[in-house]
Amino acid sequence: MPAFPHSTTSTATAIAIPPSLSLPVIEAAFPRQLHPYWPRLQEKTRAWLLEKRLMPADKVEEYADGLCYTDLMAGYYLGAPDEVLQAITDYSAWFFVWDDRHDRDVVHRRPAAWRRLRTRLHEALDSPRHHLHHEDPLVAGFADSVLRLYAFLPRTWNERFARHFHEVIEAYDREFRNRTEGVIPPVQEYLALRRLTFAHWIWTDLLEPSAGRELPDAVRKHPAYRRAALLSQEFAAWYNDLCSLPKEIAGDDVHNLGISLITHEGLTLEEAVAEVRRRVDGCITEFVVVEEKALRFADGLDDGTPDGKELSVAVRACLANMRNWFSSVYWFHHESGRYTVDSWDDRSTPPYVNNETAGEK
């Protein structure tokens, strides 16, 4: 079948999805959409990666488009103003590069380099303007993307975003220690940590500038809204674990729901894949139910005042994009070169990363 009805490439392609990863309900009931800014988005994010020196020029040229980072965000934050989507997408591309640096620091046993980066990211998050010209391109690129995100909504949103991302940095530190020490966390501990390393609440926070307004606590903490947001993110994290399991087993990773199930629940590899798949399917089924409740809640926010109507529209936009996340994540995992492990020369070393071992500078 066509991977994307409105293809992001010049020719439609057929994607062969293994049965263990195929989700017919996503293909049938979660139609994929794409922000009309996508072609320009791809071009500008590629240029930003080069300008900020986040990837070597040869790797940007060979791999950036095929990694589909822009496709993922353009399929998620529909309705966002172009400049908001650009800032989110550059930040997302940065996040993937950061994840790769973290992985290489683990693989090459560079604890001092990781500790230094962790400290610098915390500092840049609190004062991005002072880190725009930092010697480490990863820190400078982070400062640039955060400063741009901070420009769209009030200080209260910025503080929430910062609070959530400080937690993400610390979760990456716990993952670093687990991986370097060979600790495979039990299932419940892993699930709690995964919500942070996948940055569940960051991607949810970013729905708000896309919708054009900060949502009040009473809306964000409403059970139906919060549950719908969590399910969309859990689906993404667990489907990612399902798709990346071969890559992470090849790289001796310890952070994957399947690996935790095998180690602590005594499941075989086949049973673990089936269990992760069951959880993924459960997210989809429950989301459809909770989505209806959340939409009724959104309708009730329209109290006849201009502000009530605007808030109701914004909440419905956020809920629509939670739904878009399912299809965008699904197709991303089958189109992005990030998961084509079988085509790599070394299954434990992604070809798009800078794999130099001299990290303790």
b or e along 26-39 (b: 16 or more beta carbons within 10 Å of the residue's beta carbon)? beeebebbbbebbe
Cβ partners under 8 Å of residue 359, min gap 6: 104, 105, 108, 110, 113
Compute the residue count for the chain: 361
List alpha helices for the chain, DSSP H. Answer: 24-29, 38-51, 57-59, 65-67, 69-74, 82-107, 111-126, 137-149, 155-181, 187-197, 200-205, 207-211, 217-220, 223-250, 257-265, 269-300, 306-335
pLDDT-derived band at 69 (thresholds 50, 70, 90) equals: very high
CA distances to 111, 262, 349 from 256, rounded to whole Å, are 21, 10, 17
Q: What is the mean pLDDT of the chain?
A: 92
Integer Cα distance of 92 and 96 in angstroms:
6
Residue 358 CA neighbour count, 13 Å, CB half: 1
Residue type, 162: A
Torsion, Cα of 82, 87, 91, 97 (10° steps): 70
Strand partners, 14: 2
Judge whether residue 60 has pLDDT over 50: yes
Cβ–Cβ contacts within 10 Å for residue 87, how many? 24
State residue 2 phi and psi, 5-degree precision: -65, 135
Integer Cα distance of 201 and 234 in angstroms:
11
pLDDT-derived band at 348 (thresholds 50, 70, 90) equals: confident
Judge whether residue 5 has pLDDT over 80: no
- Residues marked active site are found at 95-96, 198, 338
- What pLDDT sits at residue 357? 53
CB 14 within 8 A of CB 3: yes
Structural domains in the chain, sorted by start: 36-152 (1.10.600.10), 185-339 (1.10.600.10)
pTM of the model: 0.93
pLDDT-derived band at 354 (thresholds 50, 70, 90) equals: confident
